[in-house]
Amino acid sequence: MTEGLQREVERDEGDGVDIFKILQDEASYEPDPVHTGPITKETEVIAIYGKGGIGKSFSLANLSYNLARNGKKVLLIGCDPKSDTTSLLFGGRSCPTILEVSAAKKAAGEDVSISDVCFKRDGVFAMELGGPEVGRGCGGRGIIHGFELLEKLGFHEWDFDYVLLDFLGDVVCGGFGLPIARDMCQKVIVVGSNDLQSLYVANNVCSAVEYFRKLGGNVGVAGMLVNKDDGTGEAAAFAKAVGIPVLSAIPQDEDIRRKSASYQIVGDPSTKWGPMFTELAENMMSAPPRQPTPLDQDGLLGLFSSEETGADWVLEPASPADMCDPSLIEKVSLEVVYDNV
């Protein structure tokens, strides 16, 4: 056991917490079966994926607000352990997460009600799944557990036009791929920018969609949202290469940055940026799910100039002699030879 883990265990034992028992229970936990009951309403569930920090929460808060102002009933669900999807919507305030409320209610012997975890603003309904503290559990399993709680609260009977799911794309464990793997959504939108790392994540999501389609899945990619668009065009080139449309491009603009930083909604149809989000909403609603053709690593690098990425570098294999003193490698036998005999 490492010294750091030993200290963590001692601290938890002092608090009366058996961390090993918690981890063992979590490791043996299996998700409930996939919902097979009748669908009572044709709600469109859309999962939005992208690299952490690319602007999914900003985009979704404004998109959901725009949809609601245009007469749609929308539910926004944050599926990121950071639990920051709804912050912009609620003026910077964080709402209690489903996982933390569930734990507190369970300890008190009470049931979770929808009023404990779902909050609303101007026609937008929103909630956060939440996740474990760092080093205290698996975020992916938290996602699975959170959706099971939603099903118990009546998720499949809720009366919404659109349910938007905000997912991290650069975490590849099973829980974060749940909507794609278990056909929990009808389509996926990827959010990216004109940088290699965000497009790498978008490409990974396209690969996941392709993989599960081959296994009989039905989820497709509706398109790409380009955020912080500086006009260089790499994200649009990526979308064209994998066979998906660009639904909208949000410019890299100082006014948007300042308003977002101060938790102001810019997606209201009556504001300066409102028509841009209305166009995004219309394109999202009408775009059919497609099966993308993901790129390999060389294909991704080819979207950028070699001066920006080092794509013209040639791999040079290392030899055993590079790793240590060659005299320590050239042993003809295991016999010990004494030089001064």
pLDDT digits (tens, 9 = 90+) for 229-238: 999 999 999 9
Average pLDDT over every residue of 114-130: 91
Poorest-pLDDT segment among 28-32, 84-88, 196-200: 28-32
Residues with a known catalytic role: 51, 56, 82, 170
Q: Name the burial class of residue 215, with classes exposed (0-12), middle (13-18) and buried (19+) by CB atoms within 10 angstroms of its CB.
A: exposed
Q: Are 68 and 124 in contact (CB under 8 A)?
A: yes
- Could you tell me which residues come within 8 angstroms of residue 147 by beta carbon, excluding any fewer than 6 positions away? 129, 155, 178, 184
Choose which CATH entry (2.60.40.1180, 3.30.565.10, 3.40.50.300, 2.60.40.10) describes domain 39-304: 3.40.50.300
pLDDT tops 70 at residue 148: yes
Query: Which helix (H) or strand (E) is 250 found in, with range?
Result: strand 246-251
- What predicted TM-score, i.e. pTM, was given to this entire model? 0.78
Poorest-pLDDT segment among 17-21, 170-174, 284-288: 17-21
Q: Give residue 92's pLDDT.
A: 87
To the nearest 10 degrees (0 to 180), the angle between helices 56-69 and 274-286 is 90
Write down the domain spans for the chain.
39-304
pLDDT tops 70 at residue 240: yes
Give me Rg for the CA atoms of the chain.
24
CA angle 292, 293, 296 (to 5 degrees): 135
When pLDDT is cut at 50, 70 and 90, the band that residue 156 belongs to is confident
Average pLDDT over every residue of 243-258: 95
When pLDDT is cut at 50, 70 and 90, the band that residue 13 belongs to is low
When pLDDT is cut at 50, 70 and 90, the band that residue 31 belongs to is very low
Average pLDDT over every residue of 190-197: 93
Q: Give residue 15's pLDDT.
A: 56
Q: State both tokens at 317.
A: 């294999």
pLDDT tops 80 at residue 35: no
When pLDDT is cut at 50, 70 and 90, the band that residue 16 belongs to is low
Q: Give residue 144's pLDDT.
A: 78
Computed over every residue of the chain, the mean pLDDT equals: 82
Q: Are 63 and 267 in contact (CB under 8 A)?
A: yes
pLDDT tops 80 at residue 10: no
% of the chain residues with pLDDT over 90: 43
Average pLDDT over every residue of 96-105: 87
Q: Are 88 and 57 in contact (CB under 8 A)?
A: yes
When pLDDT is cut at 50, 70 and 90, the band that residue 341 belongs to is low
Q: Give residue 39's pLDDT.
A: 44
Q: Give residue 40's pLDDT.
A: 45
Q: Give residue 94's pLDDT.
A: 83
Average pLDDT over every residue of 118-135: 84
Q: Are strands 124-128 and 119-121 parallel, antiparallel or unpaired?
A: antiparallel
